[in-house]
Structure 1
Amino acid sequence: MNILDDNARALKPAGGVLDQVRAGEPTVWFNPSLPQASSAFAKIDLPVMGVEEAVSRWRRFAPLLACLFPDAHGTEGRIDSPLLPLSPDLAIRITDGLSKTAFVKADHALPLTGTIKARGGVYEVLVYAEELALRTGLIGNKASYDILATETARSLFAQHTILVGSTGNLGFSVGVIGRALGFNVEVHMSSDAKEWKKARLRNLGVRVVEHEADYSVAVAGARDSASKRGSCHFVDDENSRLLFFGYSAAALDLAAQIKTSGTEVSEQNPIAVFLPCGVGGAPGGVAFGLKSIFGDAVQCVFVEPVASPCMLVQLAAGTGRPVSVYDFGLDNKTAADGLAVPQASMLVAEAMQHLVNAVVTVSDDSLFSWVGTLFDEAGMKLEPSAASGFAALARYLKGLRMQGGRLPSACIVWTTGGSQLPAEEFEKVLAQARVL
């Protein structure tokens, strides 16, 4: 029996999901073995205290970020985005009448990079800079971290290289902070990466290495390059705990915003959070943080393109061994380049099997359609991947109702990129939306 047949057998308990996955049709996979949150964390080899540690580190880094990026007005060195309420009419349309309350966690407008990847990529580079500075005595435990913006620090960091594999947004986040600190940065880009994303990296002084293959090959290329040199740090998007916990800190920011909004959150009045998923680090970290705060009062839903549902097939098949979308006859070709990943992070999948409520897949046409709608009616400038949560929301709610689950009292769509799209690139996306 080959791996395709074996994985097909493994997925049969997921009902008709396998047939829909193979056919490239939108579908919903509900986690059949989701434990209560109170017992879930005991099954996960990641410490809950890692969330608070990441929050504390972000606070230490704030003066440095404010010094490095003085034009990021109003951030005071914080990397966070607003929680935007949608009008009741738009909320009703997005949810197909199943909810009147919906918000957007607007990471498409996140400071510095306009993408959620800043929460992980910037964090990991800052941690590496901190380690180098402590090791060399540049800073003491009580020193102000803005010393890392001095020429003395830049001379130290210039002796080191940071490497990462990316379809675009993680590479940009690593490039922005790495070059601002004075590091050499090398980004290995997959064939899915947009040309304008490569160009903006080169404009920062980043070395871009292009691969005529997918995301996994780009990551492998960066890993191999790092193994052959000294004085370097490889940002491992597939296995990095630093990335994971950098993302997780966003949950505390969201929790404070939810409280300010006056939204009640309880197991009787849960919220649902829709998170675009590529390799899994960003949505996994956020989900980990949210479940640690809200427990079963939050429903975490991952959203993937129909051509690249790597987390869905991994979770549905189990985490005994890695599986790929290619094993199920899919080509991993999608307009949502940031989500074009053939194989999920096993680090994340092993945690998410105990935390994620569902995975929804969506078509590229639906992504373009929602990009147009959100721009016309809410003034939001989104990449296709950033619109994925809107395309998934009604399908999830209908599936949840059919299963007899508790519908959320409020839905939150996490957007991931778009505000820094060049005007001509966004016009192309809108043109595609207009013809649907």
Structure 2
Amino acid sequence: MSQQLDPTTKVLDKPIAQWVEEFPKLQELIDLQPSTWFNPNVQPAAQALPDVGLTREDIDDAAARLKRFAPLFMELFPETKKTEGILESPLVAVPDQQAAIGERYGSHMPGQLWAKLDSELPISGSIKARGGIYEVLKHAEDLAIEAGLLSLDDDYRILASERMHKFFSGYKVAVGSTGNLGLSIGIMSAALGFDASVHMSADARQWKKDKLREHGVHVYEYESDYSVAVASGRKEAESDPTAYFVDDENSSTLFLGYAVAARRLAGQLKTMDITVDSEHPLFVYLPCGVGGGPGGVAFGLKTEFGDNVHCIFAEPTHAPCMYLGVLTGAHNAVCVQDFGIDNLTAADGLAVGRASGFVGHAMQHLLDGFYTIDDDELYRLIALLDHTSNIDIEPSSSAGFAGPWRVMQDAEYRDRMGLTDERMCNATHIAWATGGSMVPREEMRSYIEKGMALL
């Protein structure tokens, strides 16, 4: 339940009643009701992309850096040998899941539903393997080049040497996390030799903390939410000149690591002979916590496909921070708790009360919309995916699967965007499954059993 707030309570010097009057959708968020809002301020990509402050060339640079590190990945993580050290995930069609959800929601969805299985990314089993690992690599490269221990032409396997391990051990890496970002940064930092610390919020699953400790990472636990964990990690790093803080709320480096995913996806779509143009629109549904991962992927998608891709963020009813920030235009100046929303959700990776101001401002004119989904429905969608497709993901990962039906329920949005019935029949819908392959079997079984019981 959301707290019962006095409507005269002020947020940023304005009574909540006035906020709701100006933004009627806000009442649905306060009432913890599943809600959908299609952004009337979305602009053509050519007009809005410059607002991001990053370019296609920046994504090229990130992609080239990941390529330089590929030999090192094969050395440190043998499971990456089968992809020549490129960290990438499968794109799979899920027609049986599409049919099952359609039956559940009582409506047929035109077009095709696919799943982008970042749940199967190597090393840390989530989308955070993109941004988190990339930022650690960039920091390691910068340090090694500055110390004269590496050049861009070197074989990056030298970074796995005892000499380099000893060099990196003189430096610290810290991050605040609800779980998956901490896993990716902790595992990668420890593998290189960094002294790694992860500050975990109350939502973080115990197995994620245990796995980090197995890798020799310092784990600090907090009874508060994500924002407190981030603030503590930032504070630790500020007082130590050898420490580097990975700032999930503001990092353009993380953002670019995620953006590379769009280029890889473009290649996969081409391989599958899937056309993306004005007559064959692409819809991508991205689960959103603080916003860095989905924001970076959406930025990359817009540089690849322009106005032919429609990016939509999905959040839990109890933690709709990006929806709230963009809807009101207040971004990170407000948090969900200001409006009596408790930020308590089974979707641990999405349990964030205050959105990234950087992502909100950068992407507010590039995102088609937002929707919220309740925890019980996340479990039902997990169970359906397991039953129909034999794919297992964690609760936060299933949020994207409801997206196509939210699009089909809003004729005004489709009319405004020129999404005719014919175009919708040609559409490709991708639910971005953000994590889950590292979840212990017993825990995964409990998720599926819960979902089946709810169904």
Change (3 A) 1:335 1:145: same
CA contact (8 A) 2:344 2:351 kept: yes
Q: Deviations over 1:297-319 (max 9, x none)?
A: 00001000000000000001104
- Count of residue pairs brought into register by the alignment: 434
Q: Deviations over 1:96-129 (max 9, x none)?
A: 3122411111101111111000101100000011
Structure 1 runs (4+) greater than 6 angstroms displaced: none
CA contact (8 A) 1:8 1:18 kept: no
Is 1:248 the counterpart of 2:253 in the alignment?
no
Paired residue for 1:71, among 58, 73, 79?
79
- Give 1:379's aligned residue: 390
CA contact (8 A) 2:20 2:27 kept: no
Quick one: percent identity of the two aligned structures?
44
Give the stretch that moved more between structures: 407-416 or 249-258. 407-416
Amino acid at match of 1:372: A
- Give 2:347's aligned residue: 336
5+ unaligned residues in a row in structure 2: which ranges? 1-8
Following the alignment from structure 1 to structure 2, what is the Cα–Cα distance between the partners of residues 10 and 43?
26
Where do residues 363-402 of structure 1 align in structure 2 (5 Å cutoff)?
363-400=374-411
Q: Deviations over 1:274-303 (max 9, x none)?
A: 001000000000000000110010000100
TM-score normalised by length of structure 2: 0.92
Q: Secondary structure at the match of 2:73?
A: helix
TM-score normalised by length of structure 1: 0.96
Query: What is the root-mean-square deviation of aligned Cα atoms in Å?
Result: 1.6
**1:86: Cα distance to partner?**
1.4
Following the alignment from structure 1 to structure 2, what is the Cα–Cα distance between the partners of residues 354 and 130?
34
Paired residue for 1:358, among 358, 366, 369?
369
- Give 2:436's aligned residue: 418
5+ unaligned residues in a row in structure 1: which ranges? none
- Give 1:409's aligned residue: 427
- Give 2:4's aligned residue: none
Q: Secondary structure at the match of 1:74?
A: helix
Paired residue for 2:187, among 158, 167, 176?
176
**1:431: Cα distance to partner?**
2.2
**1:264: Cα distance to partner?**
1.4
CA contact (8 A) 2:100 2:388 kept: no
Amino acid at match of 1:21: L
Change (3 A) 1:74 1:183: same
Change (3 A) 1:386 1:99: same
Where do residues 171-320 of structure 1 align in structure 2 (5 Å cutoff)?
171-319=182-330
**1:362: Cα distance to partner?**
0.4
- Give 1:45's aligned residue: 53
Paired residue for 1:137, among 148, 151, 165?
148
Following the alignment from structure 1 to structure 2, what is the Cα–Cα distance between the partners of residues 259 and 12?
46
CA contact (8 A) 2:97 2:389 kept: no
- Give 2:39's aligned residue: 31
Amino acid at match of 2:438: Q
**1:93: Cα distance to partner?**
4.0
Following the alignment from structure 2 to structure 1, what is the Cα–Cα distance between the partners of residues 146 and 81?
32
- Give 2:3's aligned residue: none
Where do residues 88-167 of structure 1 align in structure 2 (5 Å cutoff)?
89-94=96-101, 96-167=107-178
- Give 2:6's aligned residue: none
Change (3 A) 1:293 1:262: same
**1:58: Cα distance to partner?**
1.0
Q: Secondary structure at the match of 1:247?
A: helix
Amino acid at match of 1:3: V
CA contact (8 A) 2:199 2:222 kept: yes
Q: Deviations over 1:128-181 (max 9, x none)?
A: 110111011111231111110111110100111100000110000001111111
**1:42: Cα distance to partner?**
2.5
Following the alignment from structure 1 to structure 2, what is the Cα–Cα distance between the partners of residues 339 and 81?
21
CA contact (8 A) 1:11 1:317 kept: no
Following the alignment from structure 2 to structure 1, what is the Cα–Cα distance between the partners of residues 266 and 245?
32
